[in-house]
Amino acid sequence: MKRICLLTLLFFLCFISFQPATAQVNYKAEMKALSRNIQQYFFLQKEGYYKETVHPEKDGRPVSYLWPLCAMLQASNEARDAPLMKQVYMVIGKYLDPRSPAPGYASYPMEKGGGSRFYDDNQWIGITAMDTYERTGKKAYLETGKLIYRFMMTGYDTISGGGLYWKEDEKKSKNTCSNGPGILLALQLHHATKEKAYLDTALLLYKWTNQQLKAPNGVFYDNIEVPGGKLVKWMFSYNAGTMLQANVYLYEATGDTAYLTEARSIAKAATAYFLSGEKFLDAYWFNAVLLRGYEHLLRHDADTTHIVAFRACLDHEILHQKSANGLFKKEKELDLVAQGGMLEMLARFAAMQRRGMLK
Protein backbone atom coordinates (compact mmCIF):
# COMPACT_ATOMS: atom_id res chain seq x y z
CA MET A 1 0.00 0.00 0.00
CA LYS A 2 2.83 2.36 0.90
CA ARG A 3 4.49 1.56 -2.43
CA ILE A 4 1.30 2.36 -4.32
CA CYS A 5 0.95 5.65 -2.46
CA LEU A 6 4.58 6.51 -3.17
CA LEU A 7 4.21 5.72 -6.87
CA THR A 8 1.03 7.76 -7.00
CA LEU A 9 2.81 10.69 -5.36
CA LEU A 10 5.75 10.44 -7.74
CA PHE A 11 3.43 10.31 -10.73
CA PHE A 12 1.55 13.35 -9.45
CA LEU A 13 4.77 15.31 -8.95
CA CYS A 14 5.99 14.41 -12.43
CA PHE A 15 2.63 15.39 -13.89
CA ILE A 16 2.80 18.78 -12.20
CA SER A 17 6.41 19.36 -13.28
CA PHE A 18 5.64 18.70 -16.94
CA GLN A 19 2.52 20.81 -17.13
CA PRO A 20 3.16 24.00 -19.09
CA ALA A 21 3.13 26.98 -16.76
CA THR A 22 1.41 28.93 -19.51
CA ALA A 23 -1.82 27.01 -18.94
CA GLN A 24 -2.12 28.70 -15.56
CA VAL A 25 -1.71 32.28 -16.75
CA ASN A 26 -4.55 34.61 -17.67
CA TYR A 27 -2.57 37.39 -19.31
CA LYS A 28 -5.48 39.82 -19.50
CA ALA A 29 -6.14 39.49 -15.77
CA GLU A 30 -2.44 39.93 -15.01
CA MET A 31 -2.32 42.98 -17.27
CA LYS A 32 -5.30 44.66 -15.62
CA ALA A 33 -4.00 43.96 -12.12
CA LEU A 34 -0.57 45.36 -12.93
CA SER A 35 -2.06 48.47 -14.52
CA ARG A 36 -4.05 49.17 -11.35
CA ASN A 37 -0.98 48.63 -9.18
CA ILE A 38 1.13 50.97 -11.29
CA GLN A 39 -1.45 53.71 -10.85
CA GLN A 40 -1.58 53.08 -7.12
CA TYR A 41 2.15 53.04 -6.47
CA PHE A 42 3.59 55.34 -9.13
CA PHE A 43 1.08 57.99 -10.19
CA LEU A 44 1.11 61.18 -8.14
CA GLN A 45 -2.48 62.32 -8.57
CA LYS A 46 -2.06 65.72 -6.95
CA GLU A 47 1.10 66.62 -8.86
CA GLY A 48 0.02 65.10 -12.17
CA TYR A 49 3.27 63.17 -12.61
CA TYR A 50 4.63 59.66 -12.27
CA LYS A 51 7.45 58.88 -9.90
CA GLU A 52 10.27 56.61 -10.97
CA THR A 53 10.48 54.17 -8.06
CA VAL A 54 8.13 52.99 -5.34
CA HIS A 55 10.44 54.39 -2.68
CA PRO A 56 11.59 58.03 -2.54
CA GLU A 57 14.19 58.86 -5.15
CA LYS A 58 17.73 58.58 -3.82
CA ASP A 59 18.80 61.87 -5.40
CA GLY A 60 15.74 63.76 -4.26
CA ARG A 61 14.04 63.91 -7.65
CA PRO A 62 10.30 64.03 -6.99
CA VAL A 63 9.16 62.74 -10.41
CA SER A 64 10.23 60.33 -13.12
CA TYR A 65 12.66 60.82 -15.95
CA LEU A 66 11.20 60.54 -19.46
CA TRP A 67 12.34 57.01 -20.32
CA PRO A 68 9.89 55.17 -18.01
CA LEU A 69 7.06 57.21 -19.53
CA CYS A 70 8.08 55.93 -22.98
CA ALA A 71 7.59 52.40 -21.62
CA MET A 72 4.20 53.31 -20.16
CA LEU A 73 3.09 54.97 -23.40
CA GLN A 74 3.66 51.91 -25.54
CA ALA A 75 2.17 49.66 -22.85
CA SER A 76 -1.02 51.72 -22.75
CA ASN A 77 -1.23 51.57 -26.53
CA GLU A 78 -0.86 47.78 -26.59
CA ALA A 79 -3.42 47.44 -23.78
CA ARG A 80 -5.82 49.62 -25.80
CA ASP A 81 -6.29 51.62 -22.62
CA ALA A 82 -7.36 55.01 -23.93
CA PRO A 83 -7.67 56.75 -20.51
CA LEU A 84 -4.20 55.57 -19.49
CA MET A 85 -2.70 56.63 -22.80
CA LYS A 86 -4.31 60.05 -22.51
CA GLN A 87 -2.87 60.43 -19.03
CA VAL A 88 0.64 59.39 -20.05
CA TYR A 89 0.60 61.70 -23.08
CA MET A 90 -0.50 64.54 -20.80
CA VAL A 91 2.44 63.91 -18.49
CA ILE A 92 4.92 63.58 -21.37
CA GLY A 93 3.74 66.93 -22.70
CA LYS A 94 5.38 68.56 -19.69
CA TYR A 95 8.78 67.36 -20.95
CA LEU A 96 8.60 69.07 -24.36
CA ASP A 97 11.55 71.42 -24.86
CA PRO A 98 10.99 73.87 -27.77
CA ARG A 99 14.57 75.08 -28.09
CA SER A 100 16.60 74.94 -31.29
CA PRO A 101 17.77 73.30 -33.42
CA ALA A 102 14.38 71.54 -33.21
CA PRO A 103 11.75 70.87 -30.55
CA GLY A 104 12.13 67.58 -28.72
CA TYR A 105 11.40 65.98 -25.36
CA ALA A 106 13.78 66.60 -22.47
CA SER A 107 14.75 63.90 -20.01
CA TYR A 108 13.10 65.81 -17.13
CA PRO A 109 10.05 68.12 -16.99
CA MET A 110 10.66 71.66 -18.17
CA GLU A 111 8.91 73.21 -15.16
CA LYS A 112 11.28 71.27 -12.91
CA GLY A 113 14.45 72.34 -14.68
CA GLY A 114 14.44 70.21 -17.82
CA GLY A 115 17.36 68.01 -18.76
CA SER A 116 19.40 66.55 -21.57
CA ARG A 117 17.58 65.41 -24.69
CA PHE A 118 18.18 61.80 -25.72
CA TYR A 119 17.43 60.83 -29.29
CA ASP A 120 16.27 57.35 -28.36
CA ASP A 121 13.79 58.51 -25.71
CA ASN A 122 12.23 60.75 -28.31
CA GLN A 123 12.15 57.97 -30.89
CA TRP A 124 10.25 55.62 -28.55
CA ILE A 125 7.56 58.27 -28.23
CA GLY A 126 7.52 58.72 -32.00
CA ILE A 127 7.21 54.98 -32.60
CA THR A 128 4.22 54.75 -30.28
CA ALA A 129 2.65 57.81 -31.87
CA MET A 130 2.96 56.23 -35.31
CA ASP A 131 1.57 52.92 -34.05
CA THR A 132 -1.40 54.84 -32.68
CA TYR A 133 -1.79 56.80 -35.91
CA GLU A 134 -1.95 53.57 -37.90
CA ARG A 135 -4.62 52.26 -35.54
CA THR A 136 -6.73 55.41 -35.19
CA GLY A 137 -5.96 57.61 -38.21
CA LYS A 138 -5.77 60.69 -35.97
CA LYS A 139 -3.44 63.22 -37.57
CA ALA A 140 -2.15 64.54 -34.24
CA TYR A 141 -0.17 61.32 -33.80
CA LEU A 142 1.32 61.65 -37.28
CA GLU A 143 2.41 65.19 -36.44
CA THR A 144 4.10 63.91 -33.28
CA GLY A 145 5.99 61.34 -35.36
CA LYS A 146 7.12 64.06 -37.79
CA LEU A 147 8.19 66.37 -34.94
CA ILE A 148 10.38 63.67 -33.45
CA TYR A 149 11.81 62.72 -36.85
CA ARG A 150 12.91 66.34 -37.35
CA PHE A 151 14.52 66.37 -33.92
CA MET A 152 16.33 63.04 -34.34
CA MET A 153 17.84 64.10 -37.65
CA THR A 154 19.62 66.97 -35.87
CA GLY A 155 21.63 64.14 -34.31
CA TYR A 156 22.99 62.90 -37.63
CA ASP A 157 26.41 63.64 -39.11
CA THR A 158 29.06 61.84 -41.15
CA ILE A 159 31.58 61.32 -38.34
CA SER A 160 32.32 57.60 -38.09
CA GLY A 161 30.69 57.21 -41.49
CA GLY A 162 27.23 58.39 -40.47
CA GLY A 163 24.67 57.34 -37.88
CA LEU A 164 22.73 59.09 -35.13
CA TYR A 165 24.16 60.10 -31.79
CA TRP A 166 22.58 58.94 -28.53
CA LYS A 167 22.57 62.18 -26.53
CA GLU A 168 22.24 65.70 -27.86
CA ASP A 169 24.56 67.57 -25.48
CA GLU A 170 27.26 64.88 -25.20
CA LYS A 171 28.03 63.60 -28.67
CA LYS A 172 30.34 60.84 -27.48
CA SER A 173 28.71 57.75 -28.97
CA LYS A 174 26.48 56.49 -31.75
CA ASN A 175 24.33 53.66 -30.49
CA THR A 176 22.18 50.88 -31.85
CA CYS A 177 19.51 52.15 -29.45
CA SER A 178 19.32 55.48 -31.31
CA ASN A 179 19.78 54.16 -34.83
CA GLY A 180 17.53 51.08 -34.63
CA PRO A 181 14.46 53.02 -33.47
CA GLY A 182 15.41 55.82 -35.86
CA ILE A 183 15.10 53.34 -38.72
CA LEU A 184 11.72 52.22 -37.38
CA LEU A 185 10.34 55.74 -37.08
CA ALA A 186 11.49 56.61 -40.61
CA LEU A 187 9.86 53.47 -41.98
CA GLN A 188 6.63 54.12 -40.12
CA LEU A 189 6.53 57.62 -41.60
CA HIS A 190 7.24 56.22 -45.05
CA HIS A 191 4.39 53.74 -44.63
CA ALA A 192 2.04 56.53 -43.55
CA THR A 193 3.01 59.17 -46.13
CA LYS A 194 4.68 57.22 -48.99
CA GLU A 195 7.35 59.94 -49.05
CA LYS A 196 10.59 58.47 -50.41
CA ALA A 197 12.78 60.68 -48.23
CA TYR A 198 11.79 58.67 -45.16
CA LEU A 199 12.72 55.38 -46.83
CA ASP A 200 16.04 56.88 -47.91
CA THR A 201 16.77 57.85 -44.31
CA ALA A 202 15.87 54.36 -43.09
CA LEU A 203 18.19 52.72 -45.61
CA LEU A 204 21.00 55.13 -44.77
CA LEU A 205 20.77 54.37 -41.04
CA TYR A 206 20.23 50.64 -41.68
CA LYS A 207 23.39 50.33 -43.76
CA TRP A 208 25.48 52.21 -41.21
CA THR A 209 24.18 50.23 -38.21
CA ASN A 210 24.86 46.90 -39.89
CA GLN A 211 28.33 47.97 -40.97
CA GLN A 212 29.36 49.41 -37.61
CA LEU A 213 27.45 47.62 -34.87
CA LYS A 214 26.38 44.13 -35.94
CA ALA A 215 28.07 41.44 -33.84
CA PRO A 216 29.39 38.14 -35.24
CA ASN A 217 26.72 36.20 -33.30
CA GLY A 218 23.94 37.91 -35.26
CA VAL A 219 22.78 40.46 -32.69
CA PHE A 220 24.13 43.98 -32.15
CA TYR A 221 26.73 45.76 -30.08
CA ASP A 222 25.64 48.71 -27.96
CA ASN A 223 27.63 51.60 -29.44
CA ILE A 224 30.69 52.98 -31.14
CA GLU A 225 32.60 55.71 -29.36
CA VAL A 226 33.08 59.08 -31.06
CA PRO A 227 35.79 59.97 -31.76
CA GLY A 228 38.06 56.98 -31.88
CA GLY A 229 35.71 54.29 -33.11
CA LYS A 230 36.06 51.93 -30.15
CA LEU A 231 33.22 49.41 -30.02
CA VAL A 232 31.37 49.02 -26.73
CA LYS A 233 30.36 45.38 -27.02
CA TRP A 234 27.46 45.12 -24.59
CA MET A 235 24.54 43.33 -26.21
CA PHE A 236 20.95 44.07 -25.25
CA SER A 237 17.72 42.47 -26.40
CA TYR A 238 16.07 45.73 -27.40
CA ASN A 239 18.79 46.41 -29.95
CA ALA A 240 18.15 43.03 -31.54
CA GLY A 241 14.44 43.81 -31.39
CA THR A 242 14.61 47.10 -33.27
CA MET A 243 16.87 45.72 -35.99
CA LEU A 244 14.69 42.63 -36.32
CA GLN A 245 11.60 44.78 -36.76
CA ALA A 246 13.44 47.15 -39.10
CA ASN A 247 14.06 44.24 -41.46
CA VAL A 248 10.39 43.26 -41.38
CA TYR A 249 9.35 46.83 -42.17
CA LEU A 250 11.89 46.99 -44.99
CA TYR A 251 10.54 43.77 -46.45
CA GLU A 252 7.04 45.25 -46.34
CA ALA A 253 8.24 48.52 -47.90
CA THR A 254 10.36 47.03 -50.70
CA GLY A 255 9.20 43.45 -51.23
CA ASP A 256 12.85 42.34 -51.10
CA THR A 257 12.90 38.91 -49.44
CA ALA A 258 16.51 39.41 -48.35
CA TYR A 259 15.16 41.59 -45.53
CA LEU A 260 12.78 38.86 -44.42
CA THR A 261 15.65 36.36 -44.44
CA GLU A 262 17.69 38.74 -42.31
CA ALA A 263 14.76 39.23 -39.91
CA ARG A 264 14.56 35.46 -39.43
CA SER A 265 18.30 35.32 -38.84
CA ILE A 266 18.22 38.03 -36.16
CA ALA A 267 15.24 36.38 -34.47
CA LYS A 268 17.09 33.07 -34.29
CA ALA A 269 20.23 34.71 -32.95
CA ALA A 270 18.30 36.74 -30.38
CA THR A 271 16.42 33.70 -29.10
CA ALA A 272 19.66 31.75 -28.75
CA TYR A 273 21.42 34.58 -26.91
CA PHE A 274 18.71 36.17 -24.79
CA LEU A 275 16.13 33.41 -24.20
CA SER A 276 18.17 30.24 -23.77
CA GLY A 277 17.28 29.76 -20.08
CA GLU A 278 14.13 29.85 -17.99
CA LYS A 279 14.66 33.50 -17.08
CA PHE A 280 14.99 36.66 -19.12
CA LEU A 281 18.64 37.58 -19.56
CA ASP A 282 17.71 41.24 -19.92
CA ALA A 283 15.49 43.85 -18.30
CA TYR A 284 11.73 43.67 -18.84
CA TRP A 285 11.42 46.69 -21.07
CA PHE A 286 14.34 45.60 -23.27
CA ASN A 287 12.55 42.31 -23.77
CA ALA A 288 9.28 44.08 -24.56
CA VAL A 289 11.02 45.75 -27.51
CA LEU A 290 12.36 42.37 -28.65
CA LEU A 291 8.82 40.99 -28.46
CA ARG A 292 7.65 43.73 -30.84
CA GLY A 293 10.04 42.35 -33.43
CA TYR A 294 8.98 38.74 -32.89
CA GLU A 295 5.31 39.67 -33.23
CA HIS A 296 5.86 41.68 -36.38
CA LEU A 297 7.76 38.77 -37.93
CA LEU A 298 4.79 36.47 -37.24
CA ARG A 299 2.82 38.36 -39.89
CA HIS A 300 5.11 36.82 -42.51
CA ASP A 301 6.50 33.69 -40.85
CA ALA A 302 4.39 31.12 -39.01
CA ASP A 303 7.33 29.80 -36.95
CA THR A 304 6.36 30.29 -33.28
CA THR A 305 9.67 29.05 -31.83
CA HIS A 306 10.63 32.51 -30.61
CA ILE A 307 7.24 33.24 -29.05
CA VAL A 308 7.31 29.88 -27.24
CA ALA A 309 10.75 30.60 -25.79
CA PHE A 310 9.70 34.12 -24.84
CA ARG A 311 6.52 32.88 -23.20
CA ALA A 312 8.42 30.45 -21.00
CA CYS A 313 10.55 33.29 -19.63
CA LEU A 314 7.55 35.56 -19.18
CA ASP A 315 5.60 32.92 -17.26
CA HIS A 316 8.59 32.31 -15.01
CA GLU A 317 8.55 35.99 -14.05
CA ILE A 318 4.80 35.96 -13.45
CA LEU A 319 5.06 32.91 -11.20
CA HIS A 320 8.24 33.84 -9.34
CA GLN A 321 8.85 37.59 -9.48
CA LYS A 322 5.60 39.17 -8.33
CA SER A 323 6.04 41.19 -5.15
CA ALA A 324 3.56 41.50 -2.31
CA ASN A 325 2.13 44.70 -3.79
CA GLY A 326 1.55 43.09 -7.18
CA LEU A 327 4.49 44.76 -8.93
CA PHE A 328 7.22 42.79 -10.68
CA LYS A 329 10.91 42.08 -10.27
CA LYS A 330 10.90 41.70 -6.51
CA GLU A 331 14.64 41.01 -6.48
CA LYS A 332 15.28 44.55 -7.71
CA GLU A 333 14.18 48.04 -6.74
CA LEU A 334 10.63 48.35 -8.02
CA ASP A 335 10.83 50.96 -10.77
CA LEU A 336 8.42 52.30 -13.36
CA VAL A 337 10.33 51.32 -16.49
CA ALA A 338 10.29 47.66 -15.44
CA GLN A 339 6.55 47.77 -14.73
CA GLY A 340 5.91 49.48 -18.06
CA GLY A 341 7.89 46.79 -19.86
CA MET A 342 6.01 44.02 -18.08
CA LEU A 343 2.69 45.72 -18.79
CA GLU A 344 3.48 45.83 -22.51
CA MET A 345 4.49 42.16 -22.57
CA LEU A 346 1.32 41.15 -20.74
CA ALA A 347 -0.80 43.25 -23.10
CA ARG A 348 0.76 41.63 -26.15
CA PHE A 349 0.31 38.12 -24.79
CA ALA A 350 -3.24 38.92 -23.70
CA ALA A 351 -4.00 39.90 -27.30
CA MET A 352 -2.41 36.72 -28.62
CA GLN A 353 -4.36 34.68 -26.09
CA ARG A 354 -7.62 36.40 -27.07
CA ARG A 355 -6.98 35.62 -30.72
CA GLY A 356 -6.36 31.95 -29.93
CA MET A 357 -2.71 32.07 -30.95
CA LEU A 358 -1.44 30.46 -27.72
CA LYS A 359 -1.88 26.75 -27.09
Q: Are 91 and 69 in contact (CB under 8 A)?
A: yes
pLDDT confidence of residue 199: 98
Alpha carbons 319 and 49: distance in angstroms, whole number: 30
pLDDT confidence of residue 298: 98
- Chunk the chain into consecutive blocks of 10 residues (it has 359) and report each block's average pLDDT, rounded to whole numbers: 39 36 81 98 97 84 97 98 98 98 98 98 98 98 98 98 98 98 98 98 98 98 97 98 98 98 98 96 98 98 97 97 94 92 98 94
pLDDT confidence of residue 23: 57
Query: Which residues, in sequence order, are CB contacts of 201 under 8 Å at separation 6+?
Result: 153, 182, 186
Please tell me what DSSP assigns to residue 35: H
Q: Are 135 and 183 in contact (CB under 8 A)?
A: no
pLDDT confidence of residue 152: 98
- Per domain, the residue ranges of the chain are 237-320
Alpha carbons 70 and 32: distance in angstroms, whole number: 19
Alpha carbons 290 and 143: distance in angstroms, whole number: 26
Alpha carbons 155 and 139: distance in angstroms, whole number: 25
pLDDT confidence of residue 242: 98
Q: DSSP letters along 276-323, please?
A: SSSS-SS-HHHHHHHHHHHHHHHTT----HHHHHHHHHHHHHHHH-B-
pLDDT confidence of residue 19: 37
> C-alpha angle with apex 358: 354 to 359, nearest 5 degrees?
125
pLDDT confidence of residue 18: 32
